Amino acid sequence: MRDPIGHRFAQPALLEQALKHRSAGAPHNERLEFLGDGLVNLLVAEALYLRWPSANEGALTRARAELVRESALAPIARALGLGERLTLGPGEMKSGGHRRDSILADAVEAVVAAIYLDAGFERCREVVLPWFQPAMDALPPPNKVGKDAKTRLQEWLQARQHPLPVYALLAESGEEHAKLFRVSCTVPHVNLATEGEGSSRRAAEQIAAEAALSVLTPKPA
């Protein structure tokens, strides 16, 4: 079965270290995370620079921030199945650390560094950029980047004189320090309801709003 990461490691110990949280002892992934943070910023910046040749520095900076923030990296980790592969100490295992956005985002950065050290920059770019492609494709136009999903949904509805969306908390689970929130976003005039899940109620609302926008403003085929 093909590894969802998309890279066969010549040095498997690098991947093992990248997926080892500090709670599980040394050598853990913090140094790799440091290197990976720089690599992710460079790879995303380069991709945006080529994608938007007319965008100014401000728009590029805001778009990069959208793509490399914790709440954007954590879904990548989940898509790659990194949570299930993390090595955690007993305390983090008990508290559900494999689901926490901060730990998952750090793991993505560490894995990026591991690929770079294993196979070089060109291979790292080849493997890693596709992880960001869906989020990059979902970015609004350069002049709209920086507005969060709830703001963009509200503006879209107000421009058409439609009622504002209604957000409701559906469920709350997990330990106090590692909670997950599930929220609904209802757009009354079209009888549309979407859901989002995140490590805070606000994050869940943003995800639900983004889902509503994707229905109301589908991208052309």
The residues annotated with a catalytic role in the active site are: 37, 109
Q: Is 171 helix (H, G, I), strand (E, B) or coil?
A: strand
Q: Which residues contact 172 (CB under 8 A, 6 or more apart)?
A: 179, 180, 181, 182
Q: Is 33 annotated as a binding residue?
A: yes
DSSP H stretches of helix in 171-219: 201-216
Q: Are 117 and 39 in contact (CB under 8 A)?
A: no
Q: Tokens 């869906």 label which residue?
A: 134
Torsion angle of C-alpha atoms 161, 203, 219, 39, degrees rounded to 10: 140
Please tell me the distance from the alpha carbon of residue 216 to that of residue 196, in angstroms, as a whole number.
16
The structure tokens listed for 115 are: 């690929």
Amino acid at 62: R
Binding residue positions for Mg(2+):
33, 106, 109
Binding residue positions:
33, 106, 109
